[in-house]
Amino acid sequence: MRTVVLDAGALIALERRDTRMLALATDLVVARVAAHLPAGVLAQVWRGSPRQHAVMKLVRTGALRVEPLSEEIAVRLGLLLAASGTSDVVDAHVALLARKLRATVITSDPHDLHKLDPTLGVVVI
């Protein structure tokens, strides 16, 4: 399985029991491969709802690796936002992480990510 980074739309699709996201989640667990999740994405969607059980299960099993926002990364995000003329810090973290890992982004909104980095590989969910 290829390295993937999830954005908020991917987690929302998982909450809604989207069949493609459920299959991806199963593949991650079976293959023992971790998807990457910027911490801000988790903060954006987490509300403690019972519907989010699948999300937390993936985090706790290690199938989702929550990536922190350090000072160094924050500075790099700011530079990326300035260069792209955009302002969404969480989207910038998704794009920066995907670029660093040469990963595919699982997203519901490829347009905002492509404003940050038009070379990103995305799968629309």
Q: How far is the C-alpha of 57 from the C-alpha of 38, rounded, in Å? A: 17
Residues 69, 48: Cα–Cα separation, whole Å: 21
Q: Quote the tokens at residue 41.
A: 């994405």
H-helix segments, 38-104 = 39-45, 53-61, 71-84, 89-101
Position 2 confidence tier, pLDDT thresholds 50, 70, 90: confident
pTM for this entry: 0.92
Residue type at 71?
A: E
78-117: pLDDT as tens digits: 999 999 999 999 999 999 999 999 999 999 999 999 999 9
Contacts for 18 with CB less than 8 Å, ≥ 6 apart: 125
7-35 pLDDT, tens digit per residue, is 999 999 999 999 999 998 888 888 888 89
